[in-house]
Amino acid sequence: MKLMLLGPPGAGKGTQAKRLEDAYNIIQLSTGDMLRAEVASGSDLGKEAKEVMESGALVSDELVIGIISSRIDQDDCQKGFILDGFPRTTPQAEALDVMFADKGMTLDSVIEMKVDDDAMVERITGRYTCSECGAGYHDSFQKPKVDGTCDKCGGTEFTRRADDNAETVRSRLEAYHEQTAPIILYYGDKGVLKSIDGMAGIDEVTAQLKEVIG
Ligand code: AMP
């Protein structure tokens, strides 16, 4: 099964993709996570992407298309995946079509998570992850059961993304509306787009996703 989640930063794509991984035994492909791993490793690609990411702008189409194309050739992707954060521009969506055609793959569902922009700044600036296992938390909406201890692995170290600050979030939302929102029409015109209410609670959003995925 090949799924794609669309929506602005903070819509819950990553949170839900992790839940869909378990539900459908497929893997999350987040270009943001892949780029952050490159930045952390200090690779040339990471060096190229770091500043752009910290400004809230999009890195070049060429760079992310290259990353995703080689990633979906790997063995663990053959049973299926959830695209999270890719494509983000019309040229990326067009390149994905070519990639899928070349590899004989088809997309099962493209799902737009509809949210209010105003709520995204609070969602994003309050989020953090366990440094050990990557589990996601939020200062207001999803606290660990025991303060300072990860529910999943017991880890006590947490990290916040460098671009999850109010100023950068606004640039990221702007980039979304200017460069990414048009691809919703692209998939709408193809007749493969489904929409769900991303403002609902986390469990309710998962239930809606499972319903539209079928
Ligand atoms: P995300 O984790 O999806 O919010 O992505 C974090 C940052 O990585 C974005 O603000 C962009 O700078 C960069 N990025 C991630 N995916 C893409 C993409 N498909 N195209 C361009 N830039 C991307």
Among 28, 35, 61, 84, name the best residue to mutate to test ligand 1's pocket (greatest count of ligand atoms within 8 A of Cβ): 35
Span from the CA of 56 to the centroid of ligand 1 (angstroms): 8
Instruction: Look at the block and give the residue holding tokens 């194309």.
Output: 69
Q: How far apart are CA 108 and CA 71, in angstroms?
A: 19
Gap from CA of 57 to ligand 1 centroid (Å) = 8
Low-confidence stretches of the chain (pLDDT beneath 70): none
pTM: 0.95
Q: Identify the pLDDT of residue 214.
A: 87
In angstroms, the first-to-last Cα distance of the chain is 11
Average pLDDT, the chain: 96
